[in-house]
Chains A and B, each alone.
Chain A
Amino acid sequence: AQKITQTQPGMFVQEKEAVTLDCTYDTSDPSYGLFWYKQPSSGEMIFLIYQGSYDQQNATEGRYSLNFQKARKSANLVISASQLGDSAMYFCAQTDSWGKLQFGAGTQVVVTP
C-alpha cells in the first residue's frame, strides 16, 4: 500500500527566498509517479510538477523543481525566489502502476514580505 508523508505542517518563508517542502513515500511498486499540487485559499487544486519513477533527471517547471532521491524514497519540492502568491497549501501525491492517486497531509506555506 502507498503511504505519503509530509512532516512539515507549516512553514514561513521570506519573499525572494527559496523553500524546500519535504515528502517521503513508501511503495513496493517499481512503477509510480510523484506529483506536487498547490491549493490556494480559494480551494482549487493546481498541478505543479510531475516525476516518474524511471525518470533519470529531476523534474523542473519554472520556479519549481523536484528533488527526487529514489533510494531514500524522497520527492522534495523546491520553490525558488518565493513570491507572495506562493502562499498556499502544498500537497505531495503518488500514483501506483494502476493510476491510483494518493496524497500526503499537506504543508501550509506562508510567504512574508
Chain B
Amino acid sequence: DVKVTQSSRYLVKRTGEKVFLECVQDMDHENMFWYRQDPGLGLRLIYFSYDVKMKEKGDIPEGYSVSREKKERFSLILESASTNQTSMYLCASSLSPAEAFFGQGTRLTVV
C-alpha cells in the first residue's frame, strides 16, 4: 500500500515563528503536492513538485515556500507564520495521471 506520512497531526505555533511541515511518501512518486483546506473553499493548491528540486507555484503560494531535496520528501515552510495561515494542510503524491494519495493532514493553529 502507498503511504504518505505527514510529520504532525496537530500543531500550534506562535505568530512570527518559522514552521516546517514535512511529508514523506514511500512509492517513488514523481509528483507531490501541498494543499490547504478551509471550509467552503475546498482544497487550494499551495505548491506542486514534479521532480526533485523542481517546484511550481499553485494558486496561493504567498507566505509559503517548499523544498524537495529528495524524491520521497516534500517540505512546506511558513517563513513567518501568521494567524491567517491557521488551516488544515494536506500533502499528496501521485504518478500522473493516476490517483493522488493523501496524508492524514496537519491541523495547524497559529496563535
Residues of A within 8 A of B (CB): 6, 9, 32-33, 35, 43-45, 47, 50, 52, 91, 93, 95, 98-106
Contacts and interface: CB of A to CB of B under 8 A. Distances in A.
Contact of A101 (B30, B33, B88, B105): B33
Contacts, number: 65
B90 A98 contact: no
Interface of B: 30-31, 33, 35, 40-45, 48, 50, 56, 58-59, 88, 90, 92, 94, 96-102, 104-105
Given A32-B97, A99-B30, A100-B45, 18 more contacts: A33-B96, A33-B97, A35-B99, A43-B104, A45-B92, A47-B100, A50-B97, A50-B98, A93-B43, A98-B56, A99-B48, A99-B97, A100-B48, A101-B48, A101-B94, A101-B100, A103-B35, A103-B44
Nearest to B88: A43
